[in-house]
């Protein structure tokens, strides 16, 4: 299988090349030339598979330039009970009102990004070793993404991670999670400033072509194709767990920000998984909800993005959205290029005339959830089931309940564990004990390793030079 760019100006590439890429050179996102079609016979065969077996069956259709035994090894080292807490990896449970919850958050950093990042860490190491190369990953984080990347790449040969975070702006738990890592290839940099300052430094270093090449600087953000691929697997797995035959359909409700998670659901549906609807749930930052209701895509800048109690969805420019629009435009790269030229000048676009296609052919619908909605869901589920939901998952449950049709099976994706968001949980239900996986007991008491620096790109460059010297 070969990969192409949504902007159409990049030569076709192999999987292992795409794996190490961010944006395509033409500014687009990489996608398979076509999606493999999964017919009834294969679905039937896959129904009984374990998570790693299913992951291998799906990923080997896409990672065609990695020898099967090597891919199998990467998958077995990634998807096991030691890393994800159980052999099920992403178990499905049922709330009293019949809504299913698929737990994607039992990995090392308690958020769904681990599912993809843990795979990417092992796959990176494999590809770099094979090519005798090394890579320095540079990133900025306000919490979830940075820790998922660090836990995926810690101790991996051929990779260093330089992760910037705003000094004093993350929760005690988040700081402890990142700064307690003692691996020599993980470098935490606390910047005296805000998250935006961290991101500006990443951009400044990315734009310094000479520095970037000399120090082999790369990133792992949510547009990476390997991450989307790894996420396709749990849609299949969740479907098999929530149904007894392949004649049945289910809908997925996905707490969304950058559209990476639900983009994998879209691809699973295109491959032939019997998904009825893909329900996009947003928080107060409702750019995607607006699109799926009106066809208007109006991305906003940072100053028009609210800080909310489901912070990992505080996004007003959905970086993976272009992949869906490419399919919607029947893969007309010129059309996509024209639409994103409008996005580039801050205008966005209006596809209102395609709303029927978006809803009927592609199954997308959406809803939004506000602070008081998520508190209400957390409170109500706690009262009735004695179980705590994280704020992002609560947004999903709110929207799923609102949109559910008679007889519809909806799987809500649980994107984080409540232990990460103690403040909001306390606001919803008062001071209760929030369950935390045993391996994270006493996390905040561990010694921490972090370098504090001014918000200055030159200073960060010098630190990287000194570290790699
Ligand atoms: C990243 C994240 C999301 C949003 O996922 P996207 O792929 O960006 O749409 C939702 N919930 C949590 C907890 C996350 O960490």
The atom number, within ligand 1, closest to the CA of 148 reads 15
Strands 100-103 vs 451-454: parallel, antiparallel or unpaired:
unpaired
CA of 257 to the centre of ligand 1 (A): 6
pLDDT of residue 222: 79
Q: Whose CA is nearest to atom 1 of ligand 1?
A: 312
The atom number, within ligand 1, closest to the CA of 263 reads 7
pLDDT of residue 355: 98
Can you list the alpha helix ranges (DSSP code H) found in 216-354? Answer: 225-242, 260-271, 287-294, 321-328, 333-344
Hey, what CATH topology would domain 92-109+225-429 get?
Answer: Rossmann fold (3.40.50)
CB 351 within 8 A of CB 328: yes
pLDDT of residue 199: 83
CB 255 within 8 A of CB 422: no
pLDDT of residue 172: 83
Burial of 211 (0-12, 13-18, 19+ CB in 10 A): middle
Most ligand 1 atoms within 8 A of CB, residue of 415, 417, 420, 421 to mutate: 415
Q: Whose CA is nearest to atom 8 of ligand 1?
A: 258
Element (DSSP H or E) covering residue 174: helix 172-179
CA of 416 to the centre of ligand 1 (A): 9
Most ligand 1 atoms within 8 A of CB, residue of 259, 261, 389 to mutate: 261
Most ligand 1 atoms within 8 A of CB, residue of 115, 255, 289 to mutate: 255
The atom number, within ligand 1, closest to the CA of 256 reads 9
CA of 184 to the centre of ligand 1 (A): 28
Q: Is 249 a catalytic residue?
A: no
Q: Domain boundaries in the chain?
A: 92-109+225-429
CA of 273 to the centre of ligand 1 (A): 22
CA of 413 to the centre of ligand 1 (A): 10
CB 89 within 8 A of CB 51: yes
Identify the active-site residue in 2, 13, 113, 461: 113
pLDDT of residue 137: 93
pLDDT of residue 438: 86
Distance CA 62, CA 59 (A): 5
Element (DSSP H or E) covering residue 147: helix 144-153
Query: Under 8 Å CB-to-CB from 192, ≥6 apart: which residues?
Result: 167, 452, 453, 454, 455
pLDDT of residue 303: 80
CA of 333 to the centre of ligand 1 (A): 27
Which tokens go with 53? 């077996």
What residues line ligand 1, using a CB cutoff of 6 Å?
A: 111, 113, 144, 222, 255-261, 312-313, 392, 415-416
Q: Whose CA is nearest to atom 2 of ligand 1?
A: 312
Q: Whose CA is nearest to atom 11 of ligand 1?
A: 415
Per-residue pLDDT of the chain (469 residues; tens, 9 = 90+): 999 999 999 999 999 999 988 788 898 999 999 999 999 999 999 999 999 999 999 999 999 999 999 999 999 999 999 999 999 999 999 999 999 999 999 999 999 999 999 999 999 999 999 989 999 999 988 777 889 999 999 999 999 999 999 898 787 888 999 999 999 999 999 999 888 788 889 888 888 989 988 999 888 877 899 999 999 999 999 999 999 999 999 999 999 999 999 999 999 999 999 999 999 999 999 999 999 999 999 998 778 888 899 988 888 888 899 999 999 999 999 999 999 999 989 999 999 999 999 999 999 999 999 999 999 999 999 999 999 999 999 999 999 999 999 999 999 999 999 998 999 999 999 999 998 888 888 899 999 999 999 999 999 999 999 999 8
């Amino acid at each position: 299988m070969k990969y192409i760019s949504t902007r159409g100006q990049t030569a076709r590439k192999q999987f292992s090349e795409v794996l190490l890429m961010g944006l395509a050179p033409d500014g687009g996102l990489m996608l398979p030339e076509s999606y493999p079609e999964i017919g009834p016979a294969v679905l039937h065969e896959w129904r009984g598979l374990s998570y790693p077996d299913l992951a291998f069956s799906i990923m080997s259709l896409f990672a065609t330039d990695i020898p099967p035994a090597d891919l199998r090894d990467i998958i077995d080292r990634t998807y096991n009970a030691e890393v994800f807490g159980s052999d099920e990896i992403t178990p499905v449970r049922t709330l009293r009102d019949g809504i299913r919850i698929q737990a994607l958050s039992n990995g090392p950093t308690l958020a769904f990004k681990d599912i993809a990042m843990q795979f990417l860490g092992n796959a990176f190491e494999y590809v770099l070793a094979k090519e005798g190369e090394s890579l320095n990953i540079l990133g900025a984080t306000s919490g979830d993404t940075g820790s998922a990347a660090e836990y995926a790449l810690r101790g991996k040969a051929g990779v260093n991670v330089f992760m910037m975070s705003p000094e004093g702006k993350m929760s005690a738990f988040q700081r402890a999670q990142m700064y307690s890592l003692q691996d020599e290839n993980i470098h935490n940099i606390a910047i005296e400033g805000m998250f935006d300052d961290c991101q500006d430094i990443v951009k400044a270093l990315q734009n310094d072509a000479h520095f970037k090449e000399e120090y082999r600087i790369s990133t792992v953000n949510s547009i990476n194709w390997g991450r989307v691929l790894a996420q396709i697997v749990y849609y299949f797995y969740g479907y098999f767990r929530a149904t007894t035959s392949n004649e049945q359909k289910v809908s997925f409700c996905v707490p969304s920000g950058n559209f990476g998670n639900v983009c994998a659901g879209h691809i699973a549906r295109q491959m032939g998984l019997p998904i009825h609807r893909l329900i996009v749930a947003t928080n107060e930052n409702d750019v995607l909800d607006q699109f799926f209701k009106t066809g208007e895509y109006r991305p906003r800048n940072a100053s028009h993005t609210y800080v909310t109690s489901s912070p990992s969805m505080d996004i007003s420019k959905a970086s993976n959205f272009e992949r869906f629009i490419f399919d919607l435009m029947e893969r007309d790269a010129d059309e996509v290029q024209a639409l994103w030229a409008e996005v580039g000048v801050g205008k966005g676009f209006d596809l209102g005339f395609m709303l029927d296609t978006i809803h009927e052919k592609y199954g997308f619908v959406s809803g939004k959830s506000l602070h008081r909605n998520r508190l209400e869901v957390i409170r109500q589920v706690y009262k009735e089931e004695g179980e705590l939901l994280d704020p992002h998952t609560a947004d999903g449950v709110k929207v799923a309940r609102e949109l559910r049709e008679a007889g519809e099976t909806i799987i809500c994706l649980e994107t984080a564990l409540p232990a990460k968001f103690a403040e909001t949980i306390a606001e919803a239900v008062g001071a209760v004990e929030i369950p935390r996986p045993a391996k994270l007991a006493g996390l905040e008491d561990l010694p921490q390793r972090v370098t504090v620096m001014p918000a200055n790109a030159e200073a960060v460059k010098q630190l990287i030079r000194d570290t790699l010297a």
